Structure 1
Amino acid sequence: MRFVAEGREIEARIEHLVVAGWTGRDIGAVRHHIEELAALGVAPPSQVPLFYRVSQSLLVQAPRIEVLGPDTSGEVEPLLVNLDGTLWLGLGSDHTDRQLETVSVAASKQACPKPVSPMLWRFDTVAPHLDRLILSCEIRENGEWTLYQEGTLAMIRPLGDLVAQSGLDTGGAMLCGTLGAIGGVRPASDYRMQLRDPVLERSLYLEYRASALPVVA
């Protein structure tokens, strides 16, 4: 996989991928969300946060992904990549099968590709003002772009803590958790995502379409 960082192309061999879940910084809100999902049949996590190991082949840089059935949705998330001991920050989507999630959260994470932006920032360039970075996601509904998620990284556990807890080492990548969905979690086919740095006045972008394959028996 190739990324562009600091004006140059980086060849990245990703050897393992982790999806961090239940990473909200407000513990009360996390517990409330766990209870909401439990009412829908989603099993609660064994610990908070929880680190799901999934296939590294799920990481893709493509404007279109294919998923099985109509019950999937994306989530805007910060992406961390450890390359030869240097930590980089990027942008990705933890696209997830919501129907399968009621059976197994771990299986739902493994079921869908994870689109990521080709651009990276050195983590140490944003570390001093990390909580001020802004994540946002729009989905296309009824032909119009609708704001689906928005908030700062202050709503997610400190990324350095997630690195330490997960043991993310060289060759590893991690999606670091997401924000609440405005109007509730729901399927969509088109996504437009951004990670904005208001201090250094720059942004990472990710846009993709999820095409649903038919479910046959």
Structure 2
Amino acid sequence: MSQVLRFTLPDGSVREIEVRYALNAGYAGRDTEQVQHHVDELAELGVPAPGRIPTLYPLSASLVSRPEVVQVAHGRTSGEAEWALVVGDGPDDLLLTVACDHTDRALEVHGVAWSKQTAPDALGDVAWPLASVEGELDAFTLKAWVRHGDGEQLIQDGTLAQLLPPSYWVKELGDLLRPGTVLLSGTIPMIAGVDQFADAWRVELTDPRGLTSRIEYAVEQLAAAWD
């Protein structure tokens, strides 16, 4: 089932996009050695390596949302700070916003694609027309914080220069970027020692002029299943 998301543009106008398709990129850092190191680390944890780097996971469009609360089945789920490309009326009508890919880490060891299907892709409130900012994307900052109880910690801190740019995916995906498609970029590294299994996530994408697109949601663990 498709849904409509509203984005505020830098000029204050509002754009509504009907989301019809969702794609999640993975292992999409520009530093190929760092990406391979990440693949090797995950393999040690039992997460299967992708057959292709970078890789792509098509998802149900129903997973794309702007939730205030993400409900999960257990305590081993977490978000990932990302950018998202939103296709409007066609391939030349592209918006950029912040995203958080919430993922089931326990299921991830059995299949990354499966884990992506169990929790939402949250999108931010502000979006930039890609054409207006494409020349300065590397200067955009991408940050995420986690909350445990009353305390908040920075868990991701980087720039879009660390990730493959939207232009790469526009070229590679071609006709897959149909109107209503949302593409998530893949994520930047997490800060070592910070507990990702948190009570809440906050993610921000900020342009060089200080305009910020934000996501913030709580994580609610559901009652155990009656197995």
Q: Offset of 1:142 from its aligned partner?
A: 5.0
CA distance in 2, matches of 1:128, 1:138: 27
The CA deviation at 1:118 is: 2.5
User: What letter corresponds to residue 197 of structure 1 in structure 2?
Assistant: D
Paired residue secondary structure (1:177): coil
2:108 is aligned, of 75, 83, 101, to: 101
8 Å Cα contact 1:3/1:120 also seen in 2: no
Q: Does 1:214 align with 2:220?
A: no
Unaligned runs of 5+ in 1: none
| Partners of 1:61 and 1:115 within 8 A in 2 | yes
- C-alpha distance in structure 2 between counterparts of 1:87 and 1:30, whole Å: 27
CA offset digits 1:75-99 (Å, max 9, x no partner): 1110100100200001111000000
- Letter of the 1:124 counterpart: A
Moved more, 138-147 or 14-23: 138-147
Is residue 97–residue 128 contact of structure 2 (8 Å, CA) maintained in 1? yes
Per the TM alignment, residue 147 of structure 1 is displaced from its structure 2 partner at its CA by 0.6
Secondary structure of the residue aligned to 2:198 is coil
Query: Aligned equivalents of 1:211 and 1:136: distance in 2?
Result: 22
Shift of 1:215: 3.2
Question: How far did residue 170 of structure 1 move?
Answer: 1.8
In the TM superposition, residue 10 of structure 1 has moved relative to its aligned partner by 2.2
Find out whether 1:116 has 2:123 as its counterpart.
yes
Is the CA contact 2:74–2:221 (under 8 Å) kept in the aligned structure 1? yes
What is the match of residue 146 of structure 2? 139
Report the identity percentage.
36
Question: With structure 1 as the length reference, what TM-score do the two structures score?
Answer: 0.95
Q: CA deviation at 1:115?
A: 1.5
Cα distance in 2 for residues equivalent to 1:189 and 1:162? 33
Evaluate the alpha carbon distance shift between residue 116 and residue 127 of structure 1 in structure 2; reply closer, same or farther with a 3 A threshold: same
The structure 1 segments of at least 4 consecutive aligned residues displaced by more than 6 Å after TM superposition are none
Deviation digits for residues 53-87 of structure 1, max 9, x if unmatched? 01000011121121111110001110100100200
Looking at structure 2, the residues matched to 65 and 134 of structure 1 have their Cα atoms a distance apart, in angstroms, of 25
CA shift for structure 1 position 104: 0.6
Q: Which residue of 2 aligns with 1:78?
A: 83
Structure 2 gaps, min length 5: none
What is the aligned counterpart of 1:20 among 25, 28, 42? Answer: 25
| Structure 1 residues 166-177: aligned runs within 5 Å | 166-167=173-174, 168-177=177-186
Q: 1:214 deviation in Å? A: 2.7
The aligned counterpart of 2:70 is: 65
Following TM superposition, by how much is the alpha carbon of 1:125 offset from its aligned partner in structure 2, in angstroms?
1.5
**Equivalent position of 2:207 in the other structure:** 197
Q: TM-score when scaled to structure 2?
A: 0.91
Letter of the structure 2 residue corresponding to residue 181 of structure 1: M
Q: Any conservation in 2 of the 1:76–1:136 contact (CA below 8 Å)?
A: yes
